[in-house]
Amino acid sequence: MINTMSSGFPELTDSYLAGQDVLYQQFNEIEFYVEDIEQEHFYYNILKRLFVDIQFCKIFPLNGKNNVKDAAKLTIGNKKKIYIVDLDFDEILGIKEQIPNLFYLERYSIENYLFDKQAICELIREKNSKIKNHQIDAIFDYNNLLLKCKDLLSELSCCFILIQKFSLGKEYFGLNPARDFDLNNAGTNYRNNFITDYFLEIEALLKVVDRRYTLNAQINKLKHHYDSVQKIIINVPGKYLLNLIKHILENLNLIYQISLDSLTYKLSKECDTNDLNYLYININNYMN
């Protein structure tokens, strides 16, 4: 069923999403199910390049990880139905579920696979088609870009883990890199008090759970999940990484100012799928 919201845009209900695959059975050799409605199109871009030998014309979002898990449990043994979910913090928190036809990404979300160096270079070439790789390298260093993400996003990401671990009932911080970060200096430089105030709110909520808890002590227990660039790529929510990377590239005048959604979609058509080969192998092993 499709509801009409007050804005006039259609809203897809869970029951509609659960049944939409019937309309595409003749076009799909394999049916891929994912979590978010917002991820459908760039998931399609990526899986089409990963599974070049399989015919499918649509990805089916089910509006949430629990919906995907529930659907997978109902169709165990059906080799035509493949369910893919974000890793989120499930591995860190020890809550991953083992379901034969359910496949976890090995990074927080699909967005965490989009910002490889070559994809970013292609994005930069949309503004300057003649620029060479060595010219791009002279303007910004990809590894330094990721190190900046490590400096600025590690503690915030730890807070998100704590929100889940202790069921704090707090929403994730609404990041605005231009407002929240000073990029002109090395290390962690928060601008204004929005992030530091958020930290104080998280600590106050921790005190409700146990008055002995401090935010610094809890973050220190989690820091090993963020002690390298590779772990940052895996464990920081991808939307936050892309938002910060977008801001840094715009600040360097390397890309046009575009929405985060547009940048994400563009990168989904350019990113290297080699880091997702494990997904291809695991799914093929299951189907065979």
- Over its length of 288 residues, how does the chain's per-residue pLDDT go in tens digits? 445 444 454 555 655 545 555 545 656 889 999 998 877 888 999 999 999 999 998 999 999 999 999 999 999 989 999 999 999 999 999 999 999 999 999 999 999 999 999 999 999 999 999 998 889 988 889 999 999 999 999 999 999 999 999 999 999 999 999 999 998 877 678 999 999 999 999 999 999 999 999 999 999 999 999 999 999 999 999 999 999 999 999 999 999 999 999 999 999 999 999 999 999 999 999 998
The pTM for the full model equals 0.89
Q: DSSP class of residue 1? A: -
Q: Are residues 216 and 280 in the same domain?
A: no
The pLDDT, as a whole number, for residue 184 is 82
CA distances from 209 to 114, 158, 165, 223 (A): 37, 17, 11, 21
Q: Please, which contacts does 175-180 make with residues 24 or more away whose CB atoms are closer than 8 Å? A: 175/240, 175/243, 175/244, 177/243, 177/244, 177/246, 177/247, 177/248, 178/247
Q: Are residues 122 and 174 in the same domain?
A: yes
Q: How many domains is the chain partitioned into structurally?
A: 2
CA distances from 183 to 149, 187, 257 (A): 10, 9, 17
Handedness of CA 216, 217, 221, 227 (dihedral sign): positive
From CA 7, how far away is CA 128, in angstroms rounded? Answer: 38
Q: Are residues 137 and 231 in the same domain?
A: yes
Q: Are residues 147 and 184 in the same domain?
A: yes
Q: Are residues 151 and 279 in the same domain?
A: no
From CA 21, how far away is CA 67, in angstroms rounded? Answer: 15
Q: Are residues 171 and 265 in the same domain?
A: yes
Q: Are residues 126 and 252 in the same domain?
A: yes
Q: Decide: 281 and 275 in contact? Cβ < 8 Å.
A: no
Q: Are residues 94 and 130 in the same domain?
A: no
283, two tokens: 């799914």
Q: Are residues 181 and 163 in the same domain?
A: yes
Q: Are residues 101 and 40 in the same domain?
A: yes
> Where in the sequence is the domain holding 167, given as residue range(s)?
117-270
CA distances from 47 to 104, 116, 240 (A): 14, 17, 23
Q: Are residues 31 and 102 in the same domain?
A: yes
From CA 160, how far away is CA 240, in angstroms rounded? Answer: 12
Q: Are residues 280 and 261 in the same domain?
A: no
Burial class (CB in 10 A: 0-12, 13-18, 19+), 251: middle
Strand partners, 60: 33
